[in-house]
C-alpha cells in the first residue's frame, strides 16, 4: 500500500523502468478483441440495414427502430444470465489473481 509521496514516486519510477511483460500484452490483446467483438453487431447492422430496407420495400429510417428494439430486448433478456455466469466469474478470478500476486510480492 502506498503511504507517502516518496513511495508513490518509487512506484512511478518502477513503472517507467519496467518493460511490458507478455502477460500485459496478452491482457491488452484480449481487451482489444473484446472491444472489437462488442462493436461488431452495430457495424453489421449499419451495413445491412439499407439492404434490408430496400428488399423489404420500407423507408431506410423505418428499420432502425425495430433493430435497436430487438438488440435492447436481447440484451435485457440475457443480462441476468451474463452477470450470473460470466461477470461474477471474472470478478472472482480477478480478486483471486490479485490475492495470489499480492502474496508473491510481499
Phi and psi angles of residue 21, each rounded to the nearest 5 degrees, phi first: -85, 160
Instruction: Read off the pLDDT band of 29 (50, 70, 90).
Output: very high
pTM score, whole prediction: 0.42
The Cα-based distances of 54 to 49, 62, 70 in angstroms read: 9, 11, 19
26-41 mean pLDDT: 86
- pLDDT tens digit sequence for 48-72: 888 888 888 888 778 777 777 887 7
Domain ranges of the chain: 22-105
Give the pLDDT confidence score for residue 3 in this predicted structure: 62
Q: Dihedral of CA 22/24/29/30: which sign? A: positive
d(CA 35, CA 46): 17
Amino acid at each position: 500500500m502506498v503511504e507517502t509521496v516518496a513511495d508513490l514516486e518509487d512506484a512511478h519510477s518502477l513503472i517507467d523502468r519496467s518493460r511490458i511483460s507478455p502477460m500485459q500484452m496478452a491482457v491488452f490483446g484480449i481487451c482489444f478483441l473484446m472491444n472489437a467483438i462488442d462493436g461488431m453487431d452495430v457495424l453489421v447492422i449499419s451495413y445491412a440495414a439499407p439492404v434490408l430496407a430496400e428488399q423489404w420495400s420500407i423507408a431506410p429510417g423505418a428499420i432502425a427502430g425495430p433493430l435497436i428494439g430487438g438488440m435492447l430486448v436481447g440484451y435485457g433478456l440475457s443480462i441476468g444470465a451474463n452477470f450470473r455466469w460470466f461477470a461474477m466469474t471474472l470478478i472472482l478470478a480477478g480478486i483471486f489473481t490479485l490475492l495470489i500476486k499480492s502474496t508473491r510480492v510481499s
